[in-house]
Amino acid sequence: MSTALKKPDEGHTPSAPPSSKPNGRSTKPKNSLTAGQKPGWTWMVVAAASLAVGAGLIALIASEGFSFAGWLILSAIVYVIGMYVTTRVIENKRRATDGLWRNLVWAAFIVALIPLVSLLWTVFAQGLPTLLSNPGLLTEDMSTTNGATDAATQDEGAPLSGGFVHGLIGTLMITVVATVISVPIGLMASIYLVEYSRGGWFARTITFFVDVMTGIPSIVAGLFAFAAVQLFITTFLGESPVYLQMVKMGLSAAIALSVLMIPVVVRSTEEMLRVVPNELREASYALGVRKWKTIMKVVLPTSISGIASGVTLAIARVTGETAPILVTAGFLATTNWNPFSGWMTALPVYIYRQLVNPTAPAAPVPSEMRAWAAALVLIIIVMLLNLVARIVAQAFAPKKTGR
Amino acid sequence: MTEQVTDARDTTASPTTKPWGGRTSSGSASGDKVFAGLAYGAGGLILLVLAFVAVFLITESLPALAPTVFSQQDSIASADSFWVYVMPLIGGTLMASAIAIVLATPVAIGIALYISHYAPRRLATPVGYVIDLLAAIPSVVYGAWGMITLSTAMVPIYGWLHDHLGFLPFFAGDPSTTGRTLLTSGVVLAVMILPIITSLCREIFLQTPKLHEEAALALGATQWEMVKMTVFPFARAGIISSVMLGLGRALGETMAVTLVLSGGVFGLSLISSGNQTIPSEIALNFPEAFGMRQSELIAAGLMLFIITLVVNMIARWIVSRHKEFSGAN
Amino acid sequence: MAKRIDAVDLNVYYGSFLAVEDVNIRIEPRAVTAFIGPSGCGKTTFLRTINRMHEVLPGAYAEGKMLLDGENIYDPHVDPVSIRAEVGMVFQRPNPFPTMSIRENVLAGYKLNGTRMSKSDADAIVEKSLRGANLWNEVKDRLDKPGSGLSGGQQQRLCIARTVAVEPSVILMDEPCSALDPISTLAVEDLINELKKDYTVVIVTHNMQQAARVADKTAFFNIQGTGKPGILIEYADTKTIFQNPENEQTINYISGRFG
């Protein structure tokens, strides 16, 4: 808390009212209220001592060589314990416990930063140089790339071939179809929950199962979509391998993603609709406007920014999904624009395949480079979507209605 | 808003009807019915989809669940019976998720407290954004990071754990030289569920009534005592359920494990290669699977579905049960 | 045990906004001092600086001196936690801890200090504090029930008992009766009259009759306009303020011309 006193206490204030008895002590006020406190520089002493002890400990523990990270971690642990003991000795147990937990809470925050920084650093350091020196990655697919070209790249320094435009197109098509399926369903379901249901069993069941749906593992959603489409095709078309081949397509992946998207859309839309003040609805009814017109013309426009922001976040979430697309749409080296027929590669699946099954097993470096570049692009897309959602939510938010 | 209301009325109200007559409203009564029907139908469709998920998964996994009945075979493709096949996978899944929960929960609660009660105000909002950022990163990127960066960094730690704690079954066995072990997968999972638990806990911590916090502070409570007296009792049910939701997520997470783990047979050692989880098993094998193998994998997915369903339902149940005791009167 | 309070050139801020400007006031021990004034005049804000509760809000701070028996509680090295144990506070809305029983609520301050005490000592403190808060007879049979089950007036007296239990030198009350019905208000006002035997009591109130009934001295705060800071206009014996005020603004406020 920033409670620092702006005016340093400079002895006596001349303007003290006559009634206030001068506190008669020296110009360095010895305040009984501050008695028994540790001096302000304690932490520096403890920190220095911890670094020294940490260095000693790491020398003892680590068998081979000096580890900088290990030294810092050990020193931090020693510091937290040291501060506790010092405070406990100089002050009291309560202050020591308070300080201990304060340090631990800060430590938790720093610990969480480490993987985030490491991850972003890895993606940018690995992906950015590749992407900048090979802009062709964004415009080519993998149809001309094979083991021989990758081996040439790795061993003879030939330019990196191939790219992931087919992944971008696949992600785009699958996401668009998924959005087209899930937004109307999600929107209407939340309208039902907020505007029509009166908290009956049906509404409560829907709310409960929407919550349950949020927890469906994404791979199960993929299996469901696959099983559903397969069942549909074998029932209506037949069981020959030609028909079974048709199960894996963009549409199946879109269905899988819809299962993941619908609950997110319902939850966020429901929240937004509930925020719309009832006065607006009543004002509209009082003018003789029908309920569905009221919803379309009053309720939805009022909450549209929140809804749009929620939908964008839902899109951002499914854009990064890998597993459900892997099992429903497969993967392909070439571009496929048609989500209703044939296998399709999505960008996350592309990254996965390049890492796990490099194009040239003996020369995996080019595949890895392409994967990191694609990961960078994927992160940027998802971050942009998140940013757009935030901007939409803030820029078009209805004026605060005194709630 | 009023403008739009008037608009709607002006453009659609029929001028011939008398203003006090029965049909002054804009649009027609049938429009109302259709719209209500659509809304009702959409709600029903969601229930139907969920029912279909269960029904389809069960239908497609029957050949593996009871091979003698449904596919006239004595055994399934990869083991004598489905249970022999799936039990080690369930074990691996539970172990990976347990590691993730044990690592993530204290850190997540710490960060949530940091944001809600400890951070300077100028820092609290950016830190919240950073946590949301962690949540937004696609799982395949986490997997790639775990596979390339984290696993290498873990190798010396595994050596140390093996040398000094090798008497524990978890750290027995030869430490992996690539670092691509169940423990590394668990760490990646922990990082992935961290933002989920954090953001849920933060929401609940922030809802602690200011009145109670000030009552504690006015009695001379230190910051930590205030948290212990008011925030934790208020948020207890919420913390438990957010951890359960994080667990549900960890159980179903695929890519982090698929990319990181160099899988194998089930074993207790966390620092050698081996073990496998259900989602990862499916992702690795489903693209090439057909016939019986496909049924097996779908049946494994069904098991995963049931486990996560139970975990999530318990979480929701705790929330609803504790609503009236949460102190939010 | 009751301590005198002197504010010296005290300025109170919310971020960059100056909420209360340049207060100089001496609050006498063993007396009830009331702060009155229109909404937003800074009387509650000023009250909360007396036990450093003000700075609990993000960005809020105070400049100047607040002397507790001559010792500055805003000295940079003072721990606000120790001040709050010394200067108790009762809030506008009763706020017993919902997860604690009546008994635990009264003993909450002791529990914090980690004071070990025998059950009989604890019982004695509970009875003494609840009697001190005029609540003993109403709750003695249900000490283990949650405090949130009491009526509003009882809850507020429980909060007073909780504050009294740790034997502070000063008790601050922020509109303690504004959420209560008239009968409960009367009970709390009686209690305030008894508390002044042992404590320095400072009370913020919107209700001028209440100030006239309970306070020995009264301070009138006012603002000069929206966005301007609140200032202390006049401070005198309650009788003087209500019957013979000096300042034009006080006269207008007392006579009900605004506020």
Q: Is C97 on the interface with B (CB under 8 A)?
A: yes
Which amino acid, residue A236? F
Question: Domain tally for chain B?
Answer: 1
pLDDT of residue B136: 84
Chain C residues with CB inside 8 Å of A2's CB?
59, 61
Sign of CA pseudo-dihedral C11, C14, C16, C18: negative
Could you tell me whether strands C170-174 and C17-27 are parallel, antiparallel, or unpaired per DSSP bridges?
unpaired
Pairing outcome for strands C17-27 and C5-14? antiparallel
Q: Which residues of A touch B290 (CB under 8 A)?
A: 244
Q: In chain B, positions 91-120, which contact chain A (CB-CB < 8 Å)?
A: 106-111, 113-114, 118-120
Determine, yes or no, domain membership for B153. Answer: yes
Q: Which two tokens stand for residue A36?
A: 């028994």
The whole-chain average pLDDT of chain B stands at 81
Query: What is the structure's pLDDT at B51?
Result: 86
Distance CA B239, CA B116 (A): 14
Q: Could you report the predicted ipTM of this complex, rounded to two decimals?
A: 0.81
According to the model, what pLDDT value does residue A146 have? 80
Task: Tell me, yes or no, if B265 comes closer than 8 A to chain A by beta carbon.
Answer: no
Dump pLDDT digits (tens) for A303-355. Answer: 888 899 899 989 998 998 988 998 888 888 888 888 888 888 899 999 999 98
Q: d(Cα B212, Cα B217) in Å, to the nearest integer?
A: 9
Structure tokens at C116: 């070990």
User: What DSSP assignment string belongs to A292-338?
Assistant: HHHIIIIIHHHHHHHHHHHHHHHHHHHHT--HHHHHHH---SS----
B65 lies in some domain:
no
Q: Where are the domains of chain A?
A: 2-19+36-123, 165-395
**pLDDT (0 to 100) of residue B74:** 67
How does pLDDT run across B310-321, given as a tens digit for each residue? 888 888 788 776
Select from C112, C125, C160, C166 the residue whose CB has the most chain B CBs within 10 Å, as the one to mutate to test that interface: C112
Sites in chain C below the pLDDT cut of 70:
1, 113-114, 257-259
Range of the domain at B240: 86-326
Kindly list the residues from chain C whose CB atom is less than 8 angstroms away from the CB atom of residue A21: 70
Which residues in chain B are closer than 8 Å to A286, comparing Cβ atoms? Answer: none
Give pLDDT < 50 ranges for chain A.
Answer: 1-29, 399-403
pLDDT in tens, B164-188: 777 777 787 777 778 888 899 999 9
To the nearest whole Å, the CA of A214 is away from the closest chain B CA by 9
User: If you ran DSSP here, which 8-state letter would residue C236 be given?
Assistant: E
How do residues B79-92 score in pLDDT, each as one tens digit? 778 888 889 999 99
Cβ-proximal residues to A195 (8 Å cutoff; 6+ apart), any chain = A273, A291, A295, A299, B39
Interface A–C counts its CB contacts (< 8 A) at 80
Q: Which pair of tokens denotes residue C154?
A: 């009882």
pLDDT above 60 (res B13) = no
Task: Provide the shortest C-alpha distance from residue A191 to chain B (in Å).
Answer: 6
Q: Helix (H, G, I), strand (E, B), or coil: what is residue C6?
A: strand
Torsion of CA B62, B66, B71, B76, to 10 degrees: 100
Q: Determine the Cα–Cα distance for residues C66 and C25; give it in Å rounded to an integer.
A: 10
In this structure, are residues B142 and A379 in contact, taking their beta carbons and an 8 Å threshold? no
User: Is residue B201 a part of any domain in this protein?
Assistant: yes
DSSP track, A206-249: HHHHHHHHHTS-HHHHHHHHHHHHHHHHHHHT-SSHHHHHTTSS
- In 10 A of CB C73, how many CB atoms? 25
DSSP structural state of residue A38: P
Report the 10 Å Cβ neighbour count for B139: 24
Q: For A165-395, which CATH class?
A: mainly alpha
pLDDT tier at B269 (50, 70, 90 boundaries)? confident
Which stretches does DSSP call E strand in chain C?
5-14, 17-27, 32-36, 60-68, 71-72, 87-90, 170-174, 200-204, 217-223, 230-237
Cα–Cα dist A223/A225, whole Å = 5
Using CA atoms, how far apart are residues C184 and C187, in angstroms rounded to an integer?
A: 5
Chain B contact for C85 (CB, 8 A cutoff): yes
| Residue that has been written with the tokens 């001068």 in this structure | A22
Q: Tell me the C-alpha distance between B225 and B256, whole Å.
A: 38
| Helix residue ranges per DSSP H, chain B | 2-12, 29-65, 67-70, 82-113, 121-136, 139-145, 151-165, 182-206, 210-218, 223-226, 232-252, 255-260, 278-285, 291-322
- N residues, chain B: 329
Nearest alpha-carbon partner for B196 in B296, B97, B320: B97
pLDDT > 70: what percent of chain B?
87
Query: In angstroms, rounded to a whole number, what is the distance separating the alpha carbons of residues A381 and A375?
Result: 10
Tokens 């939850």 locate to A267
Q: What is the pLDDT of residue C259?
A: 53
Contacts of A331 (CB under 8 A, 6+ apart): A343, A345, A349, A350, A353, B287
Please name the chains neighbouring C, where neighbouring means 3+ C-beta pairs under 8 angstroms: A, B
- Would you call B27 and A283 a contact, using CB atoms and an 8 Å cutoff? no
Q: Which residue of B has its CA nearest to A280?
A: B1
Q: B288 pLDDT band (50/70/90 cuts)? A: confident
SS3 for C171-210 is EEEECCCCCCCHHHHHHHHHHHHHHCCCCEEEEECCCHHH
Predicted confidence band of residue B322 (pLDDT cuts 50, 70, 90):
low
CATH number at residue B266: 1.10.3720.10
Coil, strand or helix at B12: helix
**Terminal CA-to-CA distance of chain C, rounded, Å?**
36
Backbone φ and ψ of A357, nearest 5°: -120, 80
Query: Helix, strand or coil for residue C32?
Result: strand
Chains contacting A (3+ CB pairs below 8 angstroms): B, C
The token pair at A21 is 């008895």
pLDDT for B28 equals 63
How far C71 CA sits from the closest chain A CA (Å)? 6
Nearest chain B Cα distance for residue C247, angstroms: 34
Contacts of B209 in chain C (CB under 8 A): 95
Measured over the CA atoms of residue C37, residue C40, residue C46 and residue C51, the dihedral's sign is positive
Q: Cα(A300)–Cα(A306) distance, rounded to whole angstroms?
A: 10
Task: Check if the beta carbon of residue C236 is closer than 8 Å to that of residue C28.
Answer: no
Specify the pTM: 0.79
Min distance B124 CA to chain C CA atoms (Å): 11
Domain assignment present for residue B185? The answer is: yes
CA distances from A296 to A55, A288, B5, B31 (A): 68, 15, 10, 12
Instruction: Please report residues of C whose CB lies closer than 8 A to that of A93.
Output: 114
Q: Which residues of B touch A123 (CB under 8 A)?
A: 141, 144-145
Q: Give per-residue burial for A299-314: e unless 16+ CB within 10 Å, then b.
A: bbebbebbbbbbbbbb
Is B278 a domain residue? yes
In a domain, B42, yes or no: no
Whether residue B181 lies inside any domain: the answer is yes
CA torsion B50-B53-B55-B61 (nearest 10°) is -160
Q: What is the largest CA-CA distance in chain A?
A: 103
Task: Please tell me which of the candidates A105, A224, A378 has its beta carbon nearest to residue B57.
Answer: A224
Residue B28 in domain:
no
- Secondary structure of residue A134 in the 3-state scheme: coil
User: Taking chain B, what is the end-to-end CA distance rounded to the nearest angstrom?
Assistant: 34
